[in-house]
Chains A and B, each alone.
Chain A
Amino acid sequence: EADIYQTPRYLVIGTGKKITLECSQTMGHDKMYWYQQDPGMELHLIHYSYGVNSTEKGDLSSESTVSRIRTEHFPLTLESARPSHTSQYLCASRGSWGTDTQYFGPGTRLTVL
């Protein structure tokens, strides 16, 4: 079934660690996005990509990086985790046509101690 997958679903890690949050989609979408969201609160765009080898920074991009080497894969890396990074991270994807809607993955809930 076409879907968006995120791993891990939950992660507890110590300050200063480097972490990579994985996102893969089997929907054949060109556009992919990372959002940070505290529970029930506003969605903050971190990074997005229009396609392979294309990445752009969102409003909240500091301290993290992304790569898009394959269409289906869009990992997010935090070089040095801090307690302020504790949040939920949602990956999303969208088709090429402008009116195609955006679909979200299940999220990774990150806790930095």
Chain B
Amino acid sequence: GENVEQHPSTLSVQEGDSAVIKCTYSDSASNYFPWYKQELGKRPQLIIDIRSNVGEKKDQRIAVTLNKTAKHFSLHITETQPEDSAVYFCAASEANTGNQFYFGTGTSLTVIP
């Protein structure tokens, strides 16, 4: 089955700096990669996703990049703000049979004002 690894497990940045979280996956059949943000005491919520037919996707201060050859994808947050502080999870799924999401172990991001 699929194995998703996520690094780092914790990340602290100064407000205004950039943050990068990286994930690797093992199953070359995976072709859908969402990122979730979970604020304290709340449910995980989708913030951005990417499909394997594109290499990069941006949404304002958030971007995701995908390298299918190396089987890794990354979340980039620019101009970080204190409200970006949360736990971030990456996931991988295989689109055709796609019954399970395989989640990374999470990254706790702290943005220091």
Contact = CB atoms under 8 A, between A and B. Distances in A.
Interface stretch (B13-21, B74-82, B90-98): B90-98
A91 B31 CA distance: 23
Contact of B87 (A40, A97, A107): A40
Contacts of B106: 40-43
Interface stretch (A15-23, A76-84, A98-106): A98-106
A98 B94 contact: yes
Contacts, number: 58
Interface in A34-78: 39-43, 45, 48, 50, 56
A110 interface: no
Given A40-B106, A50-B99, A98-B95, A106 B40 contact: no
Nearest to A96: B98
A58 B6 CA distance: 20
Contact of B108 (A40, A103, A105): A40
B34 A98 contact: no
Closest 7 CB pairs of A and B: A98-B98, A98-B95, A104-B43, A99-B32, A42-B105, A43-B103, A40-B87
Given A39-B40, A42-B106, 9 more contacts: A31-B99, A42-B105, A48-B99, A94-B101, A98-B96, A102-B46, A104-B36, A104-B45, A107-B43
Interface of B: 31-32, 34, 36, 38, 40-46, 49, 51, 87, 89, 91, 93-101, 103, 105-106, 108
